[in-house]
Every structure is written in C-alpha cells, then in structure tokens.
Amino acid sequence: MGELRITLEEVEHVARLARLELRPEDKERMRRELDGILAYIDKLRALDVDGVEPTSHAVPLTNIMRDDEPRPSLPRDEMLANAPDPHGDFFRVPKIIED
Amino acid sequence: MLTELSLSELGERFRRREVTPTEAALAYLDRIDAVDGEVRAFLMVTREQALAQAAASDARFHAGQPRGPLDGVPIALKDLFCTRGIRTTSGSKILERFIPPYDATVVARLGEAGAVVLGKLNMDEFAMGSSTEHSGFFTTRNPWDVDRVPGGSSGGASAAVAAGMAAASLGTDTGGSIRQPAAFCGTVGFKPTYGRVSRYGVIAFASSLDQVGPFGRTVEDVALMLQVIAGADPMDSTAVATPVPDYRAELGRGVDGLRIGIPSEYFIDGMSPEVESAVRAAIATLERLGARTEPVSLPHTEYGLAAYYVIAPAEASSNLARYDGVKYGLRAPGGKDLIEMYAKTRAAGFGDEVKRRIMLGTYALSAGYYDAYYGRALKVRTLVRRDFQEAFERVNLIAAPTTPGVAFKLGEKADPLSMYLNDVLTIPVNLAGLPGISVPAGFTGGGLPIGLQLIGRAFDEATVLRAAHAYERATDWHTRRPKLGPTPGPNLGKIRP
C-alpha cells in the first residue's frame, strides 16, 4: 500500500487520544478514509497565509461578567437520574488506581 | 386541509375562532399517523404533551388572551434541543436513554409563546451529515421522492414541514444543516447570524459554527419563529445583545433599491444545470422586482470546505469528549479500568461518521499537526470572512444556489468526501458567521425542489427575510406540496374525545 498520509500507528495513537476503541478490521478502513479527507484538506497548503490573523470566532467575543450571586443548581436526584451507574449521591466508575 | 395552512394562516384562524389549537394538533397528529410511516421524520411523537399544550392554548383563546402569533401552533424540534423530561438523543445511540433535566432556552421561549410541540425529529448523529443516513436510528425520506434523502443534518425538521407534519420546526446549521435540507425538501430554512440565537441546551457539535434556526413553509413563518427565539440569553454568553427588530414588520418593504451581489465562485463546475438555470431565473426575478444585481467575487470559497473539515471536527472532538459513560448516556460493559470503559463506551455509542470526525479532529489538534492543519484552517477562515466583508461593502445581500445539486438517492454518497462536497456552498456562511436563508426557487424536470440561497450582513436578518419574502410573493414554488400517503380522507381533522 504505501504512501498514505497517515500510518496505522498514527491511527492507533489518535484513537487512544480520542478514547475510541477501534476493532482491528476497522483500523485500515479508518486509515484510508482519513487519508482521503486529509488529501482534500491538503489544498489549504496552496494558500499563502503568512501574516493572516486566525479567526476562532466569526463574531468578536467579549467576557460577559455578572455578579457573583449564588443560585440554586439543578436538583441532585435529577442529575443522577441519567447516570448509567449511580451509587447513592455519586457517579460510580471502574477503578482508576492500579492495585 | 388544516395541515396545509401556513403557520401565520393557522394562527389567524385561531384568532377568528374558526379552529381551535386542539383541532389543529389533532389534525397534525393524524397527518403524522398517515404519512410518517413513509417519511420517518419523527424520532418521537409527544402526543400527550402536545394535546395538553393545545388544551392550555384553547383556554387562552377562549379567555381572549392568546400570547401571540405562535400560540397554539403545532411545531416540532430537531432532536438535539434539550426538552425537560422528554428523551433527547441528538440522533445518537450514546444518548438513547438521555432525559434532559432542563429545557433549551429556545424550547422554553417557544413554550412561553404558546407553541405546541408535536415531537422530536430525526437527524444525522450529533448533526454530522447531509442526509440523515448517519442517524443512529433510521434514515428519513424526502417527501418529494421517498427513494431520496431529505438532506441533513436537520433532515427530519425539513421533511416534517414539507410533508405537512409540523407547521414549522427548529433545526441547527453548522455547515449548511438547515439550508441544505430546506433546499432538498422545498421548505424555507433560515440560519441566523452566529450569536443571534441562544444555544443553551442545544447539544453541541462545533461551537464556533453552530447556530439555531427555523424551518417553515413561508418566509413569514420563519420570521415569526425567529422573532420568538432571537436575542440575548444570560445562559449563553455567545448570544449577543444586539437589538432584535420586528422581523414581520420589515417583510413588506420589497427589494427595490437593494444591491444584490452574485458570486461567480458559487456557480461551480459539475453543478446541476437545472439548479443553475433555476437560480439564475430567481436572480432575474429579484431584478424585475427592483433589486440591482452586480457580480461580486468570493475568491476563497473553494477553500472554505477544506478549512471547515479541520475546524468542525477539531471542535467536535473536544465537545464530544463529554460522552464518557459516567454522568449520563450509554456505558458499555467490560471496561477493566476507567480508560478502557471510556474507549468501549465511545466505540459502542458513536456511529462511523462521528468516529471519523472525532479521529480527524483529534489528529488535526495533536502534537506535530496542530499548526499545519488547525492553525492554517483558522487563517483560511479569516480569508473567507474577509471575502464577505469586502463584498458587503458594496452590496446588501448575496444571492447564490443553496446546493450544487438536488436531493440525491439513498446510499448514493457512500464515500465520506462526496457527502462533504454537498455543503460547499453553505459552509462559507458558517465560517463567516453570517445569516443565510434557503427559499424554494423551482423544481427539476423530475419534480425535485431547488433552493435559492440569500446571504446577508451580520445581524441583518431583516434584509435577508425581506428579500426572500419579496421573491416568494412573486413566485408560487412554496405553494406546491408533495404527494404522500393515502388520499386524505374524511378522518383528517376529526376531533377525538
């Protein structure tokens, strides 16, 4: 196969960064699809952007300040109602620290 | 038939006491029963809630105290607007059982205006797509030809309005997701200026691009919807405090004296000749109505799509990091530790297109590639924005096709890039944050709708609506209806106990 813009190792690395488990049979397909899209995106290289300011938002954003007044939050039981594994007042997760 | 009236006509009938909101809600629910098996626009029909809202509206009219033009009007919502107590999926399996504990600001505002919500509408998963084929649940069909897509990502929202299953609806537009399905289904779809409408409670895709907007069967109807949802919101600091004019009052001013720019870059190679000739005819109509047209150049148009497919996936990869199987949504079993649980949950909950975009965005933001992709795309975004700024120094509006082609067949755009190319004429407007509308501008010989796109200056929705309205008055495309389902019988509109 050869000259794709992205290697299989990079696909695996990016999947790890993105917390996405890819099946072995999907990795090569993902690699080819990303390569196709990146090939199209490469047309951006044709433009001279030296000295051009980046635009992160089309409308200038300013800080919106408000008084630091406490207000009620959403009720705890309603927030926990959507949790896949609530435990009392907590969200339960698999172990984080190694044995 | 009640379900063929425009929103404003239906409201007039309520005010004249010829029809009640409950009768209208029942007519729409019957219409959904009759034709949504074919169209499949709704992910959920909220029948009980709709009838309760309609009854409350009946009482207001009975007491002589209706709330305004939307009171009692049956509408529906793309399924990424959080609705308190009602499942909201964003078209994704990962949110299949998510019940929001609060309403999006736009949902609350429509509720305060008295609108009756019929249900939640299908969409491409997390608004990533142009056909609804990337819905985690099923594909919506185009009411004009059920073998074709309705467009996307707000495909359900446009199809429902086209098929007479809602008087109006609400969608979102990140790269064309309102205007493209409006063009494909022959509805009016309006993306307001970035910052015009609150996004609090709207499930995020790409936060520097996402904007909420209405679908309707007439320009007046989308003006009435925008009136209710527009304006600052303490819960969304990107919803700016620019004053909201009375859009309907501005509608009748016509286009006499308006300068309309025609960008040559929007009439691209490979474009459907029928789309091109319909749009050129629409421009001639605007001239006949008194607008002055002139060529303008938007030279970076062809780079907009490439910049978008870096910026939007980058923002999406960050926004969608929240789906981690902890606080809400799906959790896949079998994760031995937290990281593995995340990876399994996201693998099980996201569809292929969402995974592609997360991968692409993560790659574009990752060490070693950030400057080459993301940094460069943001600079190209500046160039696209400047093109519009320069054009708008000379013209009030820009007129162009909404899409290069008409609704395509289901499965026709299997390659991701060929699907993305659909949005080449809508994406630059999002990059620049401008208001853009698609209005019906004709049909192909095969009977498929064609859309005219009108683009305005930032926060000048009023001029966009006014020109769209003038064009609509001069044509009858918006009065055509798709033929669907069984012939309307005596059951439609009947009042149930």
The predicted pLDDT at position B407 comes to 98
Q: Which of B329, B344, B433 sits opposite A21 (nearest CB)?
A: B344
Say if B54 falls within a structural domain.
Answer: yes
A54/B240 CB distance under 8 A: no
B324/A75 CB distance under 8 A: no
**CATH code, domain with B179:** 3.90.1300.10
| C-alpha to C-alpha distance for B325 and B343, rounded to whole angstroms | 10
Res. B2 pLDDT band, cuts 50 70 90: very high
Say if A37 falls within a structural domain.
Answer: yes
| C-alpha to C-alpha distance for B21 and B27, rounded to whole angstroms | 10
Say if B123 falls within a structural domain.
Answer: yes
Asked if residues B481 and B475 have their Cβ atoms less than 8 Å apart, the reply is no
Q: Which residues of A touch B308 (CB under 8 A)?
A: none
| C-alpha to C-alpha distance for B304 and B26, rounded to whole angstroms | 45
In the three-class reduction of DSSP (H, G, I as helix; E, B as strand; rest coil), residue A50 is classed as coil
Query: Is B246 buried (19+), middle (13-18) or exposed (0-12) by CB count in 10 A?
Result: exposed
Q: Which residues of B touch A45 (CB under 8 A)?
A: 376
The predicted pLDDT at position B486 comes to 60
Q: Which domain holds residue A33?
A: 8-46
Nearest to B434 by CA among B381, B380, B373: B381
Active-site position among B78, B93, B120, B191: B78
| C-alpha to C-alpha distance for B299 and B12, rounded to whole angstroms | 46
Reported ipTM = 0.95
Q: Which domain holds residue B172?
A: 2-300+382-479
Say if B489 falls within a structural domain.
Answer: no
Dihedral pair phi/psi, residue B120, rounded to 5°: -115, 140
A49/B383 CB distance under 8 A: yes
The two three-digit tokens of residue B177, written as one number = 């997701």
The predicted pLDDT at position A61 comes to 72
A44/B193 CB distance under 8 A: no
Dihedral pair phi/psi, residue B373, rounded to 5°: -105, -70
| C-alpha to C-alpha distance for B84 and B19, rounded to whole angstroms | 29
Say if B197 falls within a structural domain.
Answer: yes
Say if B51 falls within a structural domain.
Answer: yes
Give B118-176 pLDDT, tens digit per residue: 999 999 999 999 999 999 999 999 999 999 999 999 999 999 999 999 999 999 999 99
Mutation site for A-interface testing, chosen from B203, B358, B360 by largest number of A Cβ within 10 Å = B360
Residue A65 has pLDDT above 60, yes or no: yes
The predicted pLDDT at position A99 comes to 64
In the three-class reduction of DSSP (H, G, I as helix; E, B as strand; rest coil), residue B253 is classed as helix
Residue B385 has pLDDT above 60, yes or no: yes
For residue B195, what is the nearest residue in chain A, using CA coordinates? Answer: A59
Q: Which residues of A touch B340 (CB under 8 A)?
A: 21, 94
**CATH code, domain with A30:** 1.10.20.60
Q: Which residues of B touch A14 (CB under 8 A)?
A: 359, 362-363, 366
Say if B488 falls within a structural domain.
Answer: no
pTM of the model: 0.96
The arithmetic mean of pLDDT across residues B224-234, rounded, is 97
The predicted pLDDT at position B88 comes to 98
| C-alpha to C-alpha distance for B67 and B377, rounded to whole angstroms | 46
Q: Which residues of B touch A66 (CB under 8 A)?
A: 234
| C-alpha to C-alpha distance for B118 and B74, rounded to whole angstroms | 6
Mutation site for B-interface testing, chosen from A9, A22, A44 by largest number of B Cβ within 10 Å = A44
For chain B, percent of residues with pLDDT exceeding 90:
94
Res. A95 pLDDT band, cuts 50 70 90: confident
Residue B497 has pLDDT above 90, yes or no: no
Our count of domains for chain A comes to 1
The predicted pLDDT at position A59 comes to 80
Angstrom distances, CA of residue B283 to CA of B262, B276, B402, B453: 9, 11, 13, 10
The predicted pLDDT at position B492 comes to 42
Say if A38 falls within a structural domain.
Answer: yes
Say if B375 falls within a structural domain.
Answer: no
Active-site position among B6, B135, B177, B317: B177
Active site residue B177: yes
The arithmetic mean of pLDDT across residues B304-329, rounded, is 97
B326/A45 CB distance under 8 A: no
Our count of domains for chain B comes to 1
Res. B418 pLDDT band, cuts 50 70 90: confident
Element (H, E) at B451: strand B449-456
Say if B244 falls within a structural domain.
Answer: yes
Res. B443 pLDDT band, cuts 50 70 90: very high
Give B175-222 pLDDT, tens digit per residue: 999 999 999 999 999 999 999 999 999 999 999 999 999 999 999 999
**A99 or A70, greater pLDDT:** A70
Rg over CA atoms, chain A: 23
For residue A40, what is the nearest residue in chain B, using CA coordinates? Answer: B306
Q: Which residues contact B321 (CB under 8 A, 6 or more apart)?
A: A19
Which DSSP symbol is given to A74? P
Give A9-52 pLDDT, tens digit per residue: 999 999 999 999 999 999 999 999 999 999 999 999 999 999 99
The predicted pLDDT at position A2 comes to 57
